[in-house]
Amino acid sequence: MKGIQMKAIFLPLFLMAGLVLNCNALSTALPFQWHDQTLWIDFEKTNLTESVRYAIRDDVAYSMSLIPVTNVTFAILTTNDQFYGMYTGAATISDQTQINYCHGIFDFYKTIAATNYYQIDVRSCSNYVAAISITNQYASAISSFSNFLNQVRAGFSVTNMTLSQKRALFWNPAILNDWELQSGNNFEQELTAAIPCTPTPTVNSPTPSILAYSVHDDIVEGGNPALLCCELKIWREGDWAHKVVFVYVEGSWRFCLP
């Protein structure tokens, strides 16, 4: 698709394509800077409070600030596109962009009075409302995640760690117990090998979007107390990524064993 110059707006993470822009929606649109461009974002869910709208805008702006302009392509929709007539164009982010929630941050836009607006759809607005509630409820735990993730990226020094300290980096009691039972005398060696001891390429920022956080009481079979989780993509050599879930248990962040 042919790239075009534009002032753009975008959707946050996990946005769906259904965007409806109208005059009333424009009154709630908010601007922010994406590198040297001014972007606009609007909200399909109309009952959001001002503080929530600004919180969403700030999180979207932060997420987008991590994406280089060269990694985003804008294209006018053609007549054979299923969304032609509904929107002016679409923006896509390169698959090589190593950032969480890459898909859906930019999406369809509609041009009104020479300005491009992207609207966060109802579902994504609701996801953000839930995420904002979680960040308010677990503010202390979430603020500590950056330090933990920095340690993950730097690698752990396991030389002087006890077995209990190594075990405490992981969570999922049933799997840990089964692992220890099956491994026998090799358990500590295997556990040590699972700890990132060398710098690990992860997200390109120690602070993920607030949409990375969720609360679950069904992570393990049979249920568990409500636990704060953070799901991120981890990039390894060769630019491939897999998802890792971190869980906050008894005052510390841990790797959640699948």
Domain parsing of the chain, residue ranges: 23-127, 138-256
> pLDDT class for 18, splitting at 50, 70, 90?
very low
Q: Is the pLDDT of residue 240 over 90?
A: no
Confidence at residue 197, expressed as pLDDT on a 0 to 100 scale:
67
- Percentage of the chain beyond pLDDT 70 is 80
Residues facing 241 on adjacent strands: 235
Q: Quick check: 121 and 44 in contact, CB under 8 A?
A: yes
Determine how β-strand 170-171 pairs with β-strand 252-256. Answer: parallel
pLDDT one-digit tens code per residue, 53-64? 999 999 989 888
Mean pLDDT of the chain: 80
Three-class SS state of 73: strand
Sheet containing 227-235, strands listed edge to edge, beginning at the edge strand earlier in sequence: 170-171, 252-256, 241-249, 227-235, 213-216
pLDDT one-digit tens code per residue, 21-31? 344 446 789 99
Mean pLDDT, residues 101-112 taken together:
69
Quick one: which of 172, 151, 163 has its CA closest to 192?
Answer: 163
Highest mean pLDDT among 75-79, 97-101, 149-153: 75-79
Q: Quick one: CA dihedral 256, 233, 141, 163, positive or negative?
A: positive
Confidence at residue 224, expressed as pLDDT on a 0 to 100 scale:
83
Tell me the backbone φ, ψ of residue 127, rounded to 5 degrees: -60, -40
Mean pLDDT, residues 68-82 taken together:
90
- Percentage of the chain beyond pLDDT 90 is 38
pLDDT one-digit tens code per residue, 133-149? 999 999 999 999 989 98
Residue 62 identity (one-letter amino acid): Y
Dist CA 32 CA 65 (whole Å): 10
- Up-side HSE of residue 50: CA atoms within 13 Å toward CB? 1
Is the pTM value of this prediction over 0.75?
yes
